[in-house]
Structures are given as structure tokens and as C-alpha cells.
């Protein structure tokens, strides 16, 4: 059943009955959301922003607030609604619960590297349930902006570069986050940012987006379509313009596509102050025009600018806005509140102590965090079988500015997490070895300065050790919103440290604790092994130590291409052939760099090895509406149990419009014991073969298709399938 048709006749009639009792001001109030956390004091009135919000709530002029400090404040505001307002419509309380609440899980880019959407759904559900203890019924997640630009700080929050994988995760995340344990124990998700925010020019946040309708529909929209089909109760419109019209004023996006094409029934909320920013964009002369553009485009709720409550009643009374548009928005907002059971139970009922106390996190959430962290880790390099480390190693040096950090592993959007809850890399290693292994630590350098003051001590520490673990990366403030970089190198003095330590000739393992892919080919020349560990959340240190010592065989695979250098960006596997694919002179190549990435999409190593058999299939020719079954035997040819992400890619060789050389069509994560063989089957259906033809119609065009099954986007054998007319 299409979950996106969630409004029942009962919800609709109840919402209509409530609407019928509302004044125009109360309607505009439901469409107004405030940030409780932004609390300036008005110099003229001496009133704080919170005083204003409380007064507005008491007048029934607020529909939602976010960034409340906790359950007590939430209950107090809900009581104010019941005591003071005519219609007692409960507040919808929101929060950025992006990858955890008090239990912080790995950043979404890390979780996507686990290729385990079911696991991501579980972390989303755990996050929603923890947030409910503070009155949060609306999480501003998942972030499903496809991006191909690691300069963009919000790649950390994304599911990476592939529309199909992002769609699979979007479904799992929406279904996980939207818990429904009963009235007052239900949560709305908010897939964001609609749309194309991840394609901002130059990888610079909030920047211009100018793309074809084809790019929009082939690459950007699929995850959002999946989120809507999965029953998402809201969607957040993005800051950016798309082809000249900012999302909040973009009727094509918010009404034509979302409502008319997809039948979306949930709330469309703006991003922070984005209605006001229509003036800065230069499409609205003033707040009144910004209000007019937004409501006419189909925006239901104004986040934090206050423009809707200030101008909608006036514009309706002047006949400039059709009150029908206001009514439709209010009906959607009330329908979501009814769906969440807020009218039955506006007060916090989730018992915080069941989830987290001052000193501890729920054990089942901790084990979930550890599982998610270990599966997110990607082994990028492992020469001379340096990893896994032996526990009989007498002396291990742990050197680097990220080794002891408790804040950085939390990553971006982790303000409800606590550094004290984090297991650092150093602590994880210390707890993972016995008394016969000496662990020597030194910081070695800074992340935010080139100081080499710690270099001598680092070399002395490394000199004493049998093996060196370098803890390198980015701080938690170097990725996330408004955290874009023009360099993808290791910041500060880390390169100097790594190269100096490498010169000692000891086995060196680099652990990268970052929020994004880095372009650091030089690191291969000074390390034996490289572990991409991302910002992994509270269980970071334990998960990395499990990989370092082989308690867990790394299974992560990249979901964002690692470039050789910034000059290659945008670089992604999903590329097209062009008329002159990279080769020699007069082809699409660089005179100063390879066009190949450092590490491709889908890439990751294991401590074991896997053999892929021949691809088997029944029929090489199928009709347009037939499914194509293919299978392959995979054997673990190594000595350790391991997980493999078996990836299936498709190319439509000749079509009415150019097609990517490869598109991810399916994947399966399998676990095999040493020597074990299994058969993995994929069913390639019409949805995998269909393209948007020259007229933008979704269709399967007859012809030849190449299908690969392999370990990443650059590997694997292929077969040729013919679809008959």
C-alpha cells in the first residue's frame, strides 16, 4: 500500500471541524514556527524573543516550536495552549535529530557506508524515541540531498552520491524515524532539503543551483519520491534557488511535483528564515511579497521568520491571497498533529529515565551505536597485512590530534550528545589490549595550526613502538552546515606529522576521523594501512579498535567518491561517456592529473578475500515488461569471516538520451565464513531498466544493457542483456 496516503477520512473530517472554528490569525499561527533557541532581547521593548513566543502561543498564533530545552518546557507550553487558546491545538515540537539524540550514532555519510539501511532505520527509531522524552515529535531528518562535492560541508549529513542508495536509505530512515508507539509517542520525519541543495555551485553552502529538469528528476528527486512513498509526514524546502527560483517560492517543486505529481499529503516547512531570504535572493521586494510568493508556491509553514503570521491575514483580507491556500496548509498541519496523537496526548509521556540518565545511555542504544559504527568503517589500504594488529604487540604508539578527542567523533549536528559519552580512539585501543601491550600516546600536532611543536615527542614516541597508529582527521566543526572547505587535505600539521613518522620505517596505520572524503593520495606513500573511520559517534573508539585488532572484519564501502585532488570535483562514478572519454590528447582528460578517483564509489577492503563466480541467467533476451533474473556464486576464499557488499550496476548502452556508464541498481550485503559459498540473486525489473527518454517519459527502451556484479563501481564481470521491442 502506498504509505503516503496516510490521511484517513476520520483525520480529514476532524481537521476540517477544527479548521471551521479557527480565526484567520489562528490559521496563520498554525503556519508559524519559532526557534526557541534564538532568544535576542528587543532593545525597544526589553522583551526577549521567548517572551514574544509565549505571548503569541497564548494567542493561538504559533503552530510549532523547535530547540526547546526539554520536557518541562514542552509541557509548560502545551499547558499554555490548553489554558489560554480558543481551540487548544497542540504545538508540534521539532528538533534536528540527524544522527542521534543523546546517543549519537555515526554521521549519515558513515551510516550509508555500512550499506545497511535496516540498521540506519534502527538508529533513526532509537533517536526518535530518545528525543520523545524531551517532547520532540518532529525530527528534521533524514537529510537525503544527493551530492558529488566533498567541499560541501553537509556531505557529512548526506547518503552520498548515488540516487538509488539514497532512495533505499530514505525509505528506511523515514520508516524508522516515524515511530508510532501511541499518542504522544509518535514522531514525524522531515526529509530535507527539497531540493538540489547538495549541488550548490563550488561546493559552497547555500549557493546557486542551476540544473536541468533531467538532472533534477534523474538524480535529485528519487530519494524524496521514495521518502514520500514511505509516508513521510513533512518535507523541508531548501535555502537554495533552483534555476532562478528559490525553493520556498518554487511552485514547480512544492506544488506541481510534490502535490500534483506525487500526491504528497504532509507539511512543507521552510528552512530557517528562508522565507525572509527571498528578499536577499532578490525575488521579493519586501516581507509582504515574500509571504505572497511562498504561500502561492505551496509552502505550508514558515520556519522562524514570523512573516506568515505578520502578513497572511492582511493579504487574505486584501484579496491578494486565496484563503483556500491557507486552509489547505492548516488542514495538513492539523492532520499531522492528529496523526501523531498530539490532541489526545500533548504532554511528554516517554520516560526519560528509560532512555538516558546523567551518566549512562540505554544499553541497547549503545550496542546499536557500536554496531552502526563498526559497519561504517571502510578499510582503504592494507599493505603487508599490517592490519589486523596482533594483541601480542608489545608496544603501540597512538599519535595524532584526534586520538583523545571526545567532541570530534560526535560530528556535526550532535548538540544533544555529550563528549563524556564518547569512547575516544585512544581509550578504545587501551581497553582492547592486555597488560602485555604498552600504549604510548602523544598528540603530535594540531588540527587547526601548522605548529610542529609536538613533532619531536611524536618521533620519540613512534621510535619506541613496534607499530604506530596515526589518529588524523577533521574536527567536528569542519563539516556540517556552513562548514565548506576549498582544500580536501588533512588540516593543520597532520601531513608533516604523518610524513615524519613514516620516515622512521615503522608499520604505520592511519585512522581518518573525518566528516567528508579527503583527497590525500600522499597518505598512501607514508602508511601501510588506512582506515576511514568518519565521525562515528559515542562508540567510535570501541568500533575502530575492533577493526584494528580484527575483532570485526571491516565491511564498509564508500558511498561518496574520494578524489585524487580538488581539481577533479565534481567526480562521481555515475558519469557519462562523453564523445571523447578520457584518453590521450583531444579527449576529456587533464594535462596535470589522472581522471581516476583516489578511491571509487562502492570501494572498501576486507581482511578476507572473496571470489566472484560467473554471472548466471536464464534468458539473454527479454521483453520490455519481463523481469531479468541473474545470480552469482560468491566464495569467501580467506581465513576470516567477512561481509561483502555485492553490487549490481547497469548501463543502457544506446538510448534516446545519453546514459551513465553505470548506475547502481541493486546490492546485497552478505556474511560468509571462511570457505563458505553462497548464491546471490538479483531481479532486474522494469524500474531498473527504465530511463527518462528525450520527452522526459519514464520508459524502457529496447536495446542492449550491460549488467555488472562486483565489489565496487570499478570492478566486476558483466553480461549483456537484450530487451526486445
Closest CB to ligand GLC among 193 and 332? 193
Half-sphere exposure of 614 (CA within 13 A, CB side): 3
Closest CB to ligand GLC among 175 and 271? 271
By the rule CB under 6 A, 271 interacts with ligand GLC:
yes
| Alpha helices (H) in 212-276, listed in sequence order | 213-215, 221-229, 251
Each residue 215-254 as x (binds ligand GLC by CB under 6 A) or -, in order, gives: ----------------------------------------
By the rule CB under 6 A, 551 interacts with ligand GLC:
no
Question: How big is the site for ligand GLC, counted in residues (CB under 6 A)?
Answer: 6
From residue 250, alpha-carbon distances to 221, 238, 253 in Å are: 15, 10, 6
Closest CB to ligand GLC among 416 and 652? 416
Residue 188 Cβ, how far from ligand GLC at the closest point, in Å?
Answer: 13
CB-based contacts of 46: which residues, under 8 Å, 6+ apart?
none
CA atoms 24, 25, 26, 29: torsion sign: positive
CA distance 136 to 131: 5
Which cell is 303 given?
520556519
Residue 301 Cβ, how far from ligand GLC at the closest point, in Å?
Answer: 12
Residue 240 Cβ, how far from ligand GLC at the closest point, in Å?
Answer: 10
Which cell is 565 given?
585532488
CA distance 582 to 281: 38
Closest CB to ligand GLC among 36 and 603? 36
Residue 469 Cβ, how far from ligand GLC at the closest point, in Å?
Answer: 35
Residue 390 is classified by DSSP as: P
**Out of 289, 427, 446, 481, the residue judged to bind ligand GLC by CB under 6 A:** 481
Which cell is 543 given?
568500533
Residue 206 Cβ, how far from ligand GLC at the closest point, in Å?
Answer: 9
CA distance 206 to 195: 12
Closest CB to ligand GLC among 223 and 444? 223
Closest CB to ligand GLC among 481 and 633? 481
Closest CB to ligand GLC among 96 and 421? 96
CA distance 90 to 101: 23
Residue 415 Cβ, how far from ligand GLC at the closest point, in Å?
Answer: 10
Residue 704 Cβ, how far from ligand GLC at the closest point, in Å?
Answer: 43
Tell how many helices (H) and how many strands (E) occur in the chain: 21, 27
Cis check for the bond before 570: say yes or no (omega within 30 of 0).
yes
**Out of 27, 148, 192, 374, the residue judged to bind ligand GLC by CB under 6 A:** 192
Residues 597 to 636: which contact ligand GLC by CB under 6 A?
A: none
CA distance 150 to 152: 5
Residue 481 Cβ, how far from ligand GLC at the closest point, in Å?
Answer: 5
**Out of 34, 105, 115, 140, the residue judged to bind ligand GLC by CB under 6 A:** 140
Residue 619 is classified by DSSP as: -
Total Cβ atoms within 10 A of residue 531 = 24
Closest by alpha carbon to 374, among 532, 155, 173? 532
From residue 433, alpha-carbon distances to 279, 464, 507, 624, 696 in Å are: 59, 18, 18, 58, 59
Closest CB to ligand GLC among 140 and 599? 140
Residue 424 Cβ, how far from ligand GLC at the closest point, in Å?
Answer: 28
Half-sphere exposure of 204 (CA within 13 A, CB side): 5
Residue 197 Cβ, how far from ligand GLC at the closest point, in Å?
Answer: 8
Q: 611-614 contacts: CB < 8 A, separation 24 or more?
A: 611/635, 611/637, 612/709, 612/710, 612/711, 612/716, 612/717, 614/717
Closest by alpha carbon to 81, among 61, 107, 104? 61
| Alpha helices (H) in 44-146, listed in sequence order | 49-58, 71-84, 108-113, 117-132
Residue 88, Ramachandran bin (φ over 0: left; ψ between -120 and 50: alpha; else beta): left
Q: Which of 96, 134, 149, 271 is catalytic?
A: 271
Residue 67 Cβ, how far from ligand GLC at the closest point, in Å?
Answer: 7
CA distance 524 to 265: 50
Query: Would strands 691-692 and 642-652 be described as parallel, antiparallel, or unpaired?
Result: unpaired
Residues 84 to 103: which contact ligand GLC by CB under 6 A?
A: 96
Closest by alpha carbon to 233, among 186, 195, 164, 275? 186
**Out of 264, 272, 612, 667, the residue judged to bind ligand GLC by CB under 6 A:** 272
Closest by alpha carbon to 426, among 446, 403, 408, 445? 403
Residue 95 Cβ, how far from ligand GLC at the closest point, in Å?
Answer: 8
Residue bearing cell 604487540: 393
Closest CB to ligand GLC among 130 and 644? 130
Taking each helix axis from N to C end, the angle separating 363-376 and 540-548, rounded to the nearest 10 degrees, works out to 50
Residue 377 Cβ, how far from ligand GLC at the closest point, in Å?
Answer: 26
By the rule CB under 6 A, 302 interacts with ligand GLC:
no
Closest CB to ligand GLC among 38 and 590? 38
Closest CB to ligand GLC among 194 and 628? 194
Cα torsion 568, 573, 576, 577 to 10°: value is 80
CA distance 301 to 138: 13
Closest CB to ligand GLC among 30 and 234? 234
The b-or-e profile of 573-595 (16+ CB within 10 A means b, else e) is bbbeeeeeeeeeeeeeeeeeeee
- 114 exposure class (CB count in 10 Å sphere: 0-12, 13-18, 19+): buried
Closest CB to ligand GLC among 237 and 689? 237
Give catalytic status of residue 271 as yes or no: yes
Residue bearing cell 509518535: 186
Question: Where in the sequence numbering do the catalytic residues fall?
Answer: 271
**In the complex, which residues of this chain contact ligand GLC (CB under 6 A)?**
96, 140, 192, 271-272, 481
Amino acid at each position: 500500500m502506498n504509505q503516503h496516503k496516510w490521511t484517513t477520512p476520520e483525520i480529514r473530517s476532524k481537521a476540517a471541524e477544527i479548521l471551521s472554528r479557527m480565526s484567520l490569525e489562528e490559521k496563520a499561527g498554525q503556519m508559524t514556527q519559532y526557534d526557541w533557541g534564538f532568544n535576542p532581547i528587543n532593545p525597544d521593548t526589553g522583551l526577549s524573543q521567548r517572551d514574544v513566543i509565549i505571548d503569541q502561543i497564548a494567542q493561538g498564533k504559533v503552530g510549532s516550536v523547535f530547540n526547546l530545552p526539554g520536557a518541562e518546557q514542552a509541557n509548560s507550553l502545551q499547558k499554555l495552549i490548553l489554558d489560554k487558546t480558543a481551540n487548544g491545538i497542540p504545538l508540534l515540537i521539532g528538533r534536528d535529530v540527524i544522527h542521534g539524540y543523546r546517543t549519537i550514532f555515526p554521521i549519515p555519510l558513515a551510516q550509508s557506508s555500512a550499506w545497511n539501511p535496516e540498521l540506519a532505520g534502527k538508529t533513526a527509531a532509537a533517536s526518535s524515541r530518545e528525543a520523545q522524552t524531551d517532547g520532540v515529535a518532529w525530527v528534521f531528518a533524514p537529510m537525503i540531498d544527493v551530492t558529488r562535492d566533498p567541499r560541501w560541508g553537509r556531505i557529512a549529513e548526506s547518503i552520498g552520491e548515488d540516487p538509488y542508495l539514497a532512495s533505499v536509505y530514505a525509505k528506511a530512515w523515514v520508516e524508522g524515524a516515524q515511530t508510532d508507539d501511541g499518542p504522544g509517542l509518535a514522531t514525524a520525519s522531515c526529509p530535507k532539503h527539497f531540493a538540489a541543495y547538495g549541488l550548490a555551485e563550488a561546493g559552497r553552502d547555500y549557493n546557486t543551483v542551476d540544473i536541468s529538469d533531467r538532472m533534477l528528476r534523474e538524480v535529485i528527486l528519487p530519494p524524496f519520491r521514495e521518502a514520500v512513498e514511505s509516508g513521510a509526514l513533512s518535507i523541508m524546502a531548501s535555502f537554495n534557488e533552483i534555476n532562478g527560483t528559490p525553493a520556498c517560492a518554487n511552485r514547480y517543486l512544492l506544488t506541481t511535483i510534490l502535490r500534483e505529481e506525487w500526491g504528497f499529503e504532509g507539511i512543507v516547512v521552510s528552512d530557517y528564515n528562508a522565507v525572509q531570504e527571498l528578499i536577499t535572493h532578490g525575488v521579493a521586494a519586501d516581507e509582504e511579497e515574500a509571504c505572497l510568493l511562498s504561500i502561492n508556491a505551496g509552502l505550508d509553514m514558515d520556519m522562524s521568520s514570523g512573516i506568515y503570521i505578520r502578513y497572511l491575514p492582511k493579504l487574505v483580507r486584501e484579496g491578494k491571497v486565496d484563503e483556500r491556500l491557507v486552509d489547505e496548509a492548516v488542514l495538513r498541519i492539523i492532520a499531522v498533529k492528529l496523526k501523531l496523537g498530539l490532541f489526545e496526548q500533548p504532554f511528554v509521556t516517554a520516560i526519560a529515565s528509560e532512555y538516558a540518565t546523567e551518566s549512562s545511555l540505554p544499553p541497547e542504544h549503545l550496542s546499536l551505536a557500536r554496531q552502526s559504527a563498526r559497519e561504517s568503517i571502510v578499510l582503504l589500504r592494507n599493505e603487508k597485512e599490517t592490519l589486523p594488529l596482533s594483541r601480542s604487540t608489545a608496544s603501540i604508539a597512538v599519535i595524532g590530534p584526534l586520538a583523545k578527542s571526545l567532541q570530534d567523533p560526535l560530528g556535526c549536528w550532535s548538540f544533544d550528545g555529550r563528549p563524556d559519552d564518547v569512547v575516544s580512539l585512544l581509550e578504545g585501543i587501551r581497553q582492547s589490549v592486555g597488560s602485555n601491550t604498552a600504549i604510548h600516546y602523544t598528540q603530535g600536532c594540531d588540527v587547526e595550526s601548522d605548529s610542529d611543536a609536538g613533532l619531536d615527542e611524536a618521533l620519540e614516541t613512534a621510535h619506541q613502538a613496534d607499530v604506530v597508529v596515526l589518529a588524523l582527521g577533521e574536527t567536528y566543526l569542519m563539516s556540517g552546515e556552513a562548514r565548506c572547505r576549498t582544500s580536501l587535505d588533512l588540516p593543520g600539521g597532520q601531513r608533516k606529522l604523518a610524513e615524519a613518522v613514516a620516515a622512521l620505517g615503522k608499520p604505520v596505520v592511519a585512522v581518518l576521523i573525518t566528516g567528508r572524503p579527503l583527497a590525500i593520495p600522499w597518505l598512501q606513500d607514508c602508511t601501510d594501512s588506512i582506515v576511514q573511520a568518519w565521525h562515528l559517534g559515542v562508540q567510535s573508539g570501541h568500533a575502530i579498535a575492533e577493526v584494528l585488532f580484527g575483532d570485526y572484519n571491516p565491511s564498509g564501502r564508500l558511498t561518496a567518491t574520494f578524489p585524487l585532488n580538488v581539481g577533479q570535483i565534481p567526480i562521481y562514478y555515475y558519469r557519462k561517456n562523453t564523445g571523447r572519454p578520457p584518453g590521450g590528447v583531444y579527449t576529456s582528460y587533464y594535462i596535470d592529473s589522472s581522471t581516476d578517483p583516489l578511491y571509487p564509489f562502492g570501494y572498501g577492503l576486507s581482511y578476507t578475500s572473496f571470489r566472484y563466480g560467473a554471472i548466471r541467467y536464464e534468458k539473454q533476451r527479454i521483453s520490455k515488461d519481463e523481469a531479468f533474473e541473474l545470480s552469482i556464486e560468491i566464495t569467501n576464499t580467506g581465513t576470516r569471516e567477512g561481509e561483502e557488499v555485492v553490487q549490481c550496476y547497469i548501463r543502457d548502452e544506446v538510448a534516446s538520451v545519453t546514459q551513465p556508464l553505470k548506475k547502481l541498481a541493486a546490492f546485497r550485503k552478505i556474511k560468509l565464513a571462511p570457505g563458505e559459498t553462497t548464491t546471490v540473486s538479483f531481479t532486474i525489473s522494469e524500474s531498473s531498466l527504465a530511463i527518462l527518454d528525450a520527452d522526459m517519459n519514464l520508459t524502457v527502451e529496447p536495446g542492449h544493457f550491460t549488467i555488472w556484479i562486483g565489489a565496487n563501481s570499478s570492478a566486476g564481470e558483466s553480461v549483456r542483456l537484450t530487451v526486445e521491442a
